[in-house]
Chains A and B, each alone.
Chain A
Amino acid sequence: MSILDRVDRPNWQRIRTVADKLTTPLHPDDYLKLVNPLWSARELRGRLEDVVQETDDASTLVIRPGWGWSFDHEAGQYIGIGVEVDGRIQWRSYSLTSTPRRRGRRITVTVRAMPEGLLSGHLAQGMKPGAIVRLAAPAGEFVLPSPPPPKILFLVGGSGVTPMMSMLKTMDRRGTMTDVQVVYSSPTRERMIFREAITALAEKHDSLRVQLRFTDDEGMFSLDELDTVCPDWRERETWACGPGPMLDAAEEHFGNHDVTDHLHLERFTLELGDNTGEGGTVSFQNSGKSAEVDGSTTILEAGEEAGIGMPYGCRMGICHTCTLTLVSGSVTDVRNGDQFNQPNEQIQTCVTVANGDCTLNI
């Protein structure tokens, strides 16, 4: 019910408390959402208002969020979008491409249909205005501080442009465009998302310089080229977003030059660390079912193996849809080795593994 708490206007809270007496054990929203799906703050929802084709395979979804949404995200953050596929809600995370502001009451994300990506294809090309989607609140540390640093470098590959777009638009709208260098690679001119929008921004702001690279013709951008394109790159706060190999290269390059502190990365894939648990028996309290697992099987996988309808979202530890209560036992977060062993602790099942026997409240 944490989302309900976010509706913080005091009068609303009072009305809600009174209305709860009428609808207990349900909430008023459980009835209201049947009238209008957006009239519920129990689960965040949004209505798709428009689909704007950006390139052949990428579209911007304009979404009007329902009750409980606060429009105060930070430029660079992502949101979760859940859509029903064959009766099951599937979640993916996308960077917001809109700027944080209340006015307009719309948010946008831009989605590229990935080959073999069932959901991205559906989102980018199969959605019609009017459709209702589930939303997860903005999250992520890959954000532009306010005020922005005086010198910025954006290293962008492909659809990694989306968080940068939000940052650029935010600086533009707030009139805080500092000295910004963009290096943006895409296979071809046609496949480059927001090419026109970014070029237009560069024309408007003298302090924004843009280096576009069409890699099919011009070859991949090598980070050694930074010395010519942007000689002062070591002094700049750098945000990099794009395919994994590009980010690996950036990490290495900045490490070699001892300026890792300046580099901010966004990865949309789960990095499994070397952290494993001891394994054990994972028990599921409500059904009495259990699964024997090794130290690298996540609690989520254990539950699915035992035939439990585990809640899940991104399966990479960012959306918290899969969070359950650990009644007893101990688990390890595979990303960083953090241990959770307090009774009744909330754990993210998709990124935790068992440390001996443990019991979950599902």
Chain B
Amino acid sequence: MAISDVKEYLHLSPEDVEAIGAEFDAIRKRIEESRNADDAAYIKRMIKIQRGLAFAGRVTLFASHKKPAWAAGAAMLGIAKILENMEIGHNVMHGQWDWMNDPEIHSSNWEWDTAQPAEQWKHSHNYVHHQFTNVLGHDNDIGYGILRMAREQRWNVFNLGQPVYNALLAAMFQWGVALHDLDVERIRKGQKDPKEMKRQLKQIWRKGRNQFVKDYVVYPALSGPNWKTTITANLAANSMRNFWSYVIIFCGHFPDGAMHFTEEELEDETRAEWYLRQVLGAANFEGGELLHIMSGNLGYQIEHHLFPDLPSNRYGEMSVEVKEICERYGIPYTIGPLHKQYGQALRTIMKLSLPNGMTAPDGTPPPDELPKQRNKRKTDAERPGRRSELGAWSRSRTA
């Protein structure tokens, strides 16, 4: 059941909501003021480790005809790609490290080691997803335009193939992400400006080509006679990264506790209500320090959604306070082990491939005092369109 008003859903008075908002603001302020040389050293160390692993992996793979070298090289390269995408690229592009005032580690010019151009990512993720988190019809991350992930989304016979699309997405996640900002749904509905689409595709093509050529042409060529095994090792590294980032990302908003919202929630939403929507719409998972680093600290998805631009290495410490605030006000705080969270996401994918009538809903039953839902679904014409503001990729110079 999608929520149309967080206050009512949580039985909170407007004063309570403002007080909660003030507490979250206080956490932000404290972290902002305490960012220091240790934090800067953290991200620089991550970058050093990541580049070292990438270099070592590439060099090891020159001897990829030997099985141990193949395995070690692929593993190092895969881990380097995971670190780059999750803990470094994603977080740098959020502006988490902009405070260091270092142009080399800055959201405005970071380019990450994946097929999607950074500019398009910053639009589809930082803006659309983080601003309109889990709002049906606005947040394209609810199923990425190809999976039906909420019962409120209309079932279509096309959805019967969800288990297959899901498997394909897991295997080729970077290419799925690369196409994300194109907004498949808009294209399907014929709402996409063909000129903009052409520009976007051109940018994706350029970035994707460079990534592909590097992994499947240049390095294999440098390996000489071992070109074949280098290709397979690079494929293994990319697949490892694809599968891992797919799992982590699916654990962010698809476990049972993460709620969806209707666009009524967006009307006159205050900053405090936005905070509450972030808490209700995200799910954390438990794990040790290494797991959190390898997942870009997205195990602290709730904290990340509350404070997307605060340094990721501080999310752990913030989570203690956030959890305490949530307990105090009776706000659900979704957390569980990684396998359980992923299992729930997978179950939803399978179940929602079928029409609602054939499956029962999971997760928290809706509270009895929920406002009565409208009987009739709005038509597309009645609903506001998806955000169509364009990212900086539409600059004239890329034309």
Contact = CB atoms under 8 A, between A and B. Distances in A.
Interface stretch (A19-27, A123-131, A228-236, A242-250): A19-27
A100 B35 CA distance: 39
A312 B100 CA distance: 10
Nearest to B89: A25
The B contact surface, by secondary structure, is: helix
A86 B395 contact: no
A84 interface: yes
B112 A25 contact: yes
A156 to B, nearest CB: 33
B99 A88 contact: yes
A22 B41 CA distance: 27
Given A87-B35, A362-B107, A34 B51 contact: yes
A286 B107 contact: yes
B55 A309 contact: no
Nearest to B38: A87
Interface residues of B, number: 50
B127 A362 contact: no
Contacts of A88: 35, 40, 99-101
Given A34-B52, A309-B95, A25 B210 contact: yes
B61 to A, nearest CB: 13
A84 B218 contact: no
A87 B396 CA distance: 36
A344 B37 contact: no
Contacts of A22: 58, 214, 218-219
B104 A42 contact: yes
Interface in A37-83: 42-43, 82
A31 B51 CA distance: 7
Given A22-B219, A327-B392, A89 B397 contact: no
Contacts of A285: 122-123, 127, 391-392
Given A89-B102, A285-B391, A344 B95 contact: no
B36 A89 contact: no
A310 interface: yes
Interface string A288-315: 1000000000000000000111111000
Given A87-B100, A89-B101, A344 B396 contact: yes
Given A325-B392, A325-B395, A361-B395, 9 more contacts: A34-B48, A88-B99, A286-B122, A286-B127, A287-B126, A287-B309, A309-B101, A311-B108, A362-B107
16 contacts: A22-B218, A24-B214, A31-B51, A34-B51, A86-B37, A87-B99, A87-B100, A91-B101, A286-B93, A286-B95, A287-B309, A288-B130, A309-B99, A310-B98, A325-B392, A327-B395
